[in-house]
Amino acid sequence: MPDEKREGWWNILGHPIIDTGESDPSKADTDDDTLRVPTHLPILPLRGLVVYPMTAVPIRVGQPRSIRLIEDTVTGKRLVGLVASRDAELETPGPDDVYRTGTVAAVHRLFKSPDGTITLIMQGMMRIRVDEFLEEEPYLMARVSIAPEQVERSPEIEALRRKIAEGFENLSQLSPGVPEEMSTLVINLDDPLQLAYAVANQMKTLDLADAQRLLELDSVGDKLRVLMGLLSKEVEVLELGRKIQTDAQSEMEKTQREYFLREQLKAIRRELGEADEQQIEAEEFQKKIEEAGMPEEAEKEARRELDRLRKLPTAAAEYGVIRTYLDWLTSLPWSVQTDDNLDITHARQVLDEDHYDLEEIKERILEFLAVRKLRGERKEEFDQDEPADLIRREREGVILCFVGPPGTGKTSLGQSIARALGRKFIRQSLGGVRDEAEIRGHRRTYIGALPGRIMQALRRIESKNPVFMLDEVDKLGMDFRGDPAAALLEVLDPEQNREFRDHYLDVPFDLSQVMFITTGNLLDPIPPPLRDRMEILRLSGYTETEKLRIVQGYLIPRQLRENGLRSKELSFTEAALRQIIRDYTREAGVRNLEREIGRVARKVVTRIAEGDGQPVRVTKANVSEFLKKPRYFPETALRTKVPGVATGLSVTMAGGDLIFCEATKMPGQKGFTVTGQLGEVMKESAQAALSYVRSKAAELGIPEDVFEKIDIHLHVPAGAVPKDGPSAGVTIAAALASLLTGRRVRDDVGMTGEITLRGQVLPVGGIKEKVLAAHRAGLKTVILPKQNNKDLDDIPEEVRESLDFVLAEQVTDVLAAALAQDKQT
C-alpha cells in the first residue's frame, strides 16, 4: 500500500497514529514496501457492521472467543479478517452465518475496560474473500485471498465523485452526527474508491445488506452509482424530517403565543376590574345583535335573552341553552342578501350554456326575470297600490315545481337559475321527511332542540335570498308527529312566508325573498294544497337524438374536464354514442349516460397514467372494450311469444316504462286470481276487463262454456314494485282476449288506456312519458285512447314519425290493432 494513500486515510480519520510497539502493522511480516496479507487469517465476525478498506472504525468485543482472538493477534501479525454476520442477532456466528467478502484490517489501538470488554480501533486495509474456513475453535480461522477492486478513471467517474462529495456535504449539514472537520476531509478526497468507502462509513443509517453490497461490488463506478442512490434517499429523508420539525415547531409557537396573549389579556382585564368571561361573551353577543340587522321583534327577543344570560351563572344548564339560541339568532342572514342580476340576455346565455333545449322552461324563467326587472324600474307607480295586492302580484306563480324522471336536469336547472340571477343556491331533500319539526324545528323547551331544515339551510348559505331547491316534494311522508306538508305550505305560501315562524327561533323570519323551487319525480303524490301553490313544469325525458345532443354538447365536455382530459385525448363517434344510449342505458334522463361516459373517461385516464398517451376514439366497434356487456336487450319479443301476454305502457318514478300483463289458464271453475302487488284500482280494472271479455265472448270467437271449465290467473310482474292506477285496463283486456282466443299479442305494440264495462276506452295521463318509453324500447305501434289525441302535440317530431299511433275509442279497436291474426293454442 503506497504511503500517499495511507496518508489519505489517516487524514480522513483525523486521529494520529498511535505507536503500538511494532513499527507498521501492514508491514509486520515483510521487509519491502507493499502490504502483504497472509493467506491464513483469524476471522472476526461483526454484528450489524461492515468495515471497508481504507477506513478506520472502533469496534467493541466482549465474547470470550473474540477476546481470545484479539489477544492472540496483537501479539502476532496484528491482522484480522473482518466479515459481517448475516444475522445481527446471532451470538456466535459460524462459517455459514457470515458473508464471504470482508476486509483485512489491522488492530491499531486497544483499550480494556474494567468489565472485561475490549474496544479496538481497526484500520480496514484491503478487500478479501474467504476461500475456506479451516478451524472453528478456539476462534474462526480461514484461508483467504485478496480481492482488489477495479478502479476505473473516466469523466463519468469524476462526475459521480463530485456528485457524491456534494451529496455528502448536504448530508453532513442536515445530520448532526458528522463533525465538520470530518466532512471537509471526506469531500476533498480525490480517490473515488476511498471517497466511496469513506462516505459509506459515515452513513450510519445504511442497511447491513446495502453496506455489504457496496463492499461486494467490484467496479468503483458501480459502487459510486449505488452509493449515489442511497445518499440522495438519505438526504431526502433528512430534509423531510427537518421540515416536519420546523413546521411542528412554528405551529406550536403560534398556539403558545396565542394562548399566552389571551391569558395576559384576561389578567389585564381582571387587574382593571373589567370583566370576566361571561361578561366578555355577553358583550360579544351584544355586538352581534347590533350588527345582525334583525327586525324589531327578533331584536327585542334577542335582547331579552341576553339579559337573562347576563344574570345566570355560567354553570347553569340554562346558560348553555340561551347561548346556543343567541348563537342561532345572531348568525342568521337577517339582512344579508345578494344583488340580483336581472340582465335577460345574460340569463339566457347562462341557461343555454348549462342545458340543451328545455325551451319552454327556460322561457318561463326568463319571463319571471323580466317581470321582476320591469317592476323594479316602475317601482313608483306600483308603490301606490294596496300593499297586500303588491305582495300577491309580485309573488304569484313564483314557486316553480319541476316534475320529471331522474336525471332530466331538474336539480341542475335550479343551479343554473341561481347562476343566472347571481344568487346563492341551496338544496334540501324532503324525501322521507315525516315530522313537521324537521321543517319547522322543535320548540326550545325540548332538550337538544334545533331549528328546522329551512332555517338551518339559510344560516349555512348566509343569504336571505338564495335559490332554494326543495327536492323530492313527492316523497314527503306524514305520521302522528304532524304533517310536514302543512308546514311546507307555510314556507311556500307568499301570504304567510313573510313571517315564517320556526318553532325553535320563535320569532318571524322573512322568507319572501327566497326563490323556492321544488322538484319531484311524480306529480300525483304531491299533496294537492301544495300543488295548487306551485307552477308545474314538466320534464318528461329525452329522445335518443336529444340525448345525443346533450351528451355531445354537455356531458362529454364536462366529463373530460372533470377527469382532466384534453379534448383530443378522448372522442366518441356518433354511432358509438347511440349504441351507449340504446344498449347501456335505459332511462328517461341522462344520468346513467353521464356515468357511462365517466367510466370510459376514467379508463382513458388510467391508460395515460400507465404511460399510453395514444388518443382514444370510441367507435361502435370498440365500445365494449371500455364498457362491460350491454345491460339491456329488447325483451318485448321474448315476453309476448305466447298468447296471454300484452305490453302496456306505464309511468313510474323513473319515467315511462313497459309493463307486461300476463294471463294464464288452468282447469278449474270460473276462478280469477290477480297477483303482482296491484293496488285496488288496478284490481278493479282487471275485474272490469274480464267481465268485458266474457260479455263479448261470442264476438271474439271464444266458446261460451270455456269459463265454466277454467281458472284464470293474471300476473303483472316487474319486481316487487307496487302498481296502481286504471291505465292498464286495455292491456289487461288484451292479455285476456289473447289468452282465450289463442291469438298472440303483436310483439311491437304497446298500449295504455282505461276501460269501462261497456268497452269504452277512457283517456289517461303521462302520454308523453309513455310514448317516449315505447320509442326507447323499439316498439312500432302505440295504442292510445282517442281522447288523448291532443297530447300527441307534445311529442317530439322525431318520435312521432317513427311510431304508428292507433287512437282507440272502443276496446274492439284495441284488440283489432293488438292481436295477431294467426291462432296458436
Ligand X SMILES: Nc1ncnc2c1ncn2[C@@H]1O[C@H](COP(=O)(O)OP(=O)(O)OP(=O)(O)O)[C@@H](O)[C@H]1O
Interface with ligand X by CB under 6 A: which residues? 355-358, 406-412, 521, 550, 554, 589-591, 594
Residue 167 interface partner, choices Mg ion, ligand X, none, CB cut-off 5-8 Å depending on type: none
- 793 secondary structure, DSSP code: G
User: Minimum CB separation from ligand X for residue 561, in Å?
Assistant: 12
Nearer to ligand X, 538 or 780 (CB): 538
Residue 591 interface partner, choices ligand X, Mg ion, none, CB cut-off 5-8 Å depending on type: ligand X
β pairing state of 118-135 and 101-112: antiparallel
- 171 secondary structure, DSSP code: H
User: Minimum CB separation from ligand X for residue 422, in Å?
Assistant: 20
- Is 727 an active-site residue? yes
Nearer to ligand X, 548 or 774 (CB): 548
- Cα–Cα distance measured from residue 658 to residue 651, given in angstroms and rounded to the nearest whole number: 9
Residue 279 interface partner, choices ligand X, Mg ion, none, CB cut-off 5-8 Å depending on type: none
Residue with smallest beta-carbon separation from ligand X: 409
Which whole-number Å values give the CA distances from 17 to 6, 121, 186, 669, 780, in the listed order?
Answer: 11, 11, 18, 120, 104
Nearer to ligand X, 78 or 423 (CB): 423
- Is 373 an active-site residue? no
Residue 594 interface partner, choices ligand X, Mg ion, none, CB cut-off 5-8 Å depending on type: ligand X
Distance of alpha carbon 288 from the chain centroid: 38
User: Minimum CB separation from ligand X for residue 558, in Å?
Assistant: 7
Which residues share a beta bridge with 537?
402
User: Minimum CB separation from ligand X for residue 774, in Å?
Assistant: 21
Nearer to Mg ion, 165 or 467 (CB): 467
Q: Which span (237-245, 410-418, 439-447, 608-616) binds Mg ion, by CB under 5 A?
A: 410-418
Q: Count of residues binding Mg ion (CB under 5 A)? A: 1
Grid coordinates of 541: 325525458
User: Minimum CB separation from Mg ion for residue 519, in Å?
Assistant: 6
Nearer to Mg ion, 54 or 417 (CB): 417
Beta strands in 620-747 (DSSP E): 645-652, 655-667, 672-675, 710-715, 743-745
Say if CB 121 and CB 9 are below 8 A apart: no
Residue 408 interface partner, choices Mg ion, ligand X, none, CB cut-off 5-8 Å depending on type: ligand X
Nearer to ligand X, 556 or 749 (CB): 556
Residue 419 interface partner, choices ligand X, Mg ion, none, CB cut-off 5-8 Å depending on type: none
User: Minimum CB separation from ligand X for residue 721, in Å?
Assistant: 17
β pairing state of 749-751 and 781-785: parallel
Q: How far apart are the first and last CA of the chain?
A: 109
- Cα–Cα distance measured from residue 226 to residue 325, given in angstroms and rounded to the nearest whole number: 67
Nearer to ligand X, 355 or 768 (CB): 355
Distance of alpha carbon 244 from the chain centroid: 29
H or E segment to which residue 132 belongs: strand 118-135
- Return the closest-CA partner of residue 518 out of 612, 627, 400: 400
Say if CB 79 and CB 27 are below 8 A apart: no
User: Minimum CB separation from ligand X for residue 550, in Å?
Assistant: 4
- Cα–Cα distance measured from residue 276 to residue 266, given in angstroms and rounded to the nearest whole number: 8
User: Minimum CB separation from ligand X for residue 347, in Å?
Assistant: 16
Place of cell 459460524: 94
User: Minimum CB separation from ligand X for residue 577, in Å?
Assistant: 14
Given 411, 652, 727, 738, the residue binding Mg ion (CB under 5 A): 411
Catalytic residue among 362, 547, 768, 770: 770
Report the SS3 class of residue 127. strand
- Cα–Cα distance measured from residue 652 to residue 766, given in angstroms and rounded to the nearest whole number: 10
User: Minimum CB separation from ligand X for residue 506, in Å?
Assistant: 33
Nearer to ligand X, 71 or 353 (CB): 353
Q: Cα torsion at 288, 292, 298, 299 (round to 10°)? A: 60
In sequence order, the 6+-apart residues with CB closer than 8 A to the CB of 144 are 37, 39, 40, 41, 81, 104, 128, 129, 130, 131
Say if CB 696 and CB 736 are below 8 A apart: no
Q: Which span (51-59, 195-203, 407-415, 670-678) binds Mg ion, by CB under 5 A?
A: 407-415
Catalytic residue among 172, 685, 727, 738: 727
Grid coordinates of 215: 463492499
Nearer to Mg ion, 73 or 411 (CB): 411
- Cα–Cα distance measured from residue 167 to residue 228, given in angstroms and rounded to the nearest whole number: 8
Nearer to ligand X, 9 or 554 (CB): 554
Q: Cα torsion at 715, 718, 724, 727 (round to 10°)? A: -80
Under the binding rule (CB under 5 A), the answer on residue 521 touching Mg ion is no
Grid coordinates of 395: 309573488
In sequence order, the 6+-apart residues with CB closer than 8 A to the CB of 260 are none
Say if CB 47 and CB 66 are below 8 A apart: no
Which residues share a beta bridge with 120?
59, 110
- Cα–Cα distance measured from residue 697 to residue 692, given in angstroms and rounded to the nearest whole number: 9
User: Minimum CB separation from Mg ion for residue 341, in Å?
Assistant: 24
Residue 550 interface partner, choices Mg ion, ligand X, none, CB cut-off 5-8 Å depending on type: ligand X
In sequence order, the 6+-apart residues with CB closer than 8 A to the CB of 270 are 276
Nearer to ligand X, 186 or 590 (CB): 590
Say if CB 738 and CB 643 are below 8 A apart: yes
- Cα–Cα distance measured from residue 489 to residue 800, given in angstroms and rounded to the nearest whole number: 39
Which whole-number Å values give the CA distances from 251 to 237, 240, 245, 256, 575, in the listed order?
Answer: 21, 16, 10, 8, 58
Nearer to ligand X, 540 or 738 (CB): 540
Residue 409 interface partner, choices ligand X, Mg ion, none, CB cut-off 5-8 Å depending on type: ligand X
- Cα–Cα distance measured from residue 809 to residue 787, given in angstroms and rounded to the nearest whole number: 8
Beta strands in 327-396 (DSSP E): none
User: Minimum CB separation from ligand X for residue 356, in Å?
Assistant: 4
Active site residue ranges: 727, 770
Q: Which residues bind Mg ion (CB under 5 A)?
A: 411
